[in-house]
Amino acid sequence: MAQSAFQRAIVEPCTEVKKGVEKRARLRRQMYLAQMVSFILDAAILFLYCLSGTTPAFASAWYLAAGVGWTAITLILSEMHFNDRFQDHYLTVPQSLGSIGIQLVAIYFIPEVGLYFVSIIFVVLGFGALRMSARQTGVVWAYAAIGLTAVFTLTNQPIGMPMHSFAERHLALLCFVTALGRCAFTGLYGASLREALYKRGNELKVAHAKIEELAQIDELTGVLNRRYIMRALNDEMARAQRAGTPCAVAILDIDFFKRINDGYGHPTGDEVLRGSAITLAANMRSIDKLGRYGGEEFLVVMPLNSKDQALSAMDRLRQIVSELDWDPISDDLRVTFSAGIAQVRPNDAPEDILARADAALYKAKDAGRNRVMIS
């Protein structure tokens, strides 16, 4: 049994990591395939320009080879999980630099429709900025700006967008409509990222609340641990003293708990603590606070209860616990508790009321146990 638990402790985290890696690879695959489709679409438009006599014959084939080749390289690296070595597993900066580089070369060698490739640079930068930091975006912007400056100022290429013929005008319309489509896709992708971040934020809030809840709970009994029952005591005392309302505190102790441990074993002792705590919690008011004070002792904080009301409530709980059926554990096991109660006074500190409740608890023990006493 211990070995299987150990194996689960090793295997389960590894499985989760493997699932995460596979999910990232799948998302990258979708992104790279979309990028490949984009290059193929642009190459098809260039082919139409070639048919109309606007661009040279090599333009479409070169652009297709460059775009698909670049995307294929990044896809192969992704499938080899090379990307997982980096914080940005999409490698957005290299991806953006490579795509912009292809557009800059296209502007130079196919200047006849160069303005279309300029618009694609805007799309690439806008899309990449969704996943890049401000510094990374600045680097990619500078790269694009320097490249465009070089092409526009250091060459005499007639960069333009021909619209002389009917075919050229409609091809120009096709270029800009497809560019607008990619802008729209970028916006949708940004919206999906925001939605994913919002969902992840909510998941983190739930996880944080769960961790906070677990940090408050005593692992054995399921009630508040000592740290948090003491915090509850401080809060309720401060509230009662500020508002002038009553508040009672009880310390209860399982009678002869050492005999139970010695006679029936520690597992039975644990079951007694757990069963008693569950019974107490199930029969208390929702505003009362129950916590494990230490060992077999529990602390109960009862807001809006005077010590007489608390005496009645604790005596009822004592009766319920004393009548619990422990036959599934042992035929002759009987469990009772003793308790001491004190009421918050205007100038009390937590240690003051705890000292009075503890003194009342010892009076109950000295009087024969299985009873509740008031300080």
What positions carry a catalytic annotation?
296
Beta strand residue intervals within the chain, DSSP E:
247-254, 289-294, 297-303, 337-343, 372-374
Greatest Cα-to-Cα distance within the chain, rounded to the nearest angstrom: 110
At 334 the three-state DSSP class reads coil
Residue 375 half-sphere exposure toward CB, CA atoms < 13 A? 22
* Residue 366 burial (10 A CB sphere; 0-12, 13-18, 19+): exposed
* DSSP-derived pairing of the beta strands 337-343 and 372-374: parallel
Reduced 3-state DSSP string for 32-93: HHHHHHHHHHHHHHHHHHHHCCCCCCHHHHHHHHHHHHHHHHHHHHHHCCCHHHCCCCCCHH
Pairing of strands 337-343, 247-254: antiparallel
Q: What is the DSSP letter of 368?
A: T
Residues 6+ apart with CB under 8 A from 281: 222, 223, 290
Distance between CA atoms of residues 104 and 199, nearest Å? 38
CA angle 313/317/322 to nearest 5° reads: 150
Please spell the DSSP secondary structure of 119-151, one letter per residue: HHHHHHHHHHHTTS-HHHHHHHHHHHHHHHHHH
Cα-flanking dihedrals φ and ψ of residue 251, to 5°? -110, 125
Give the closest residue to 335 by CA, choosing from 255, 238, 233: 255
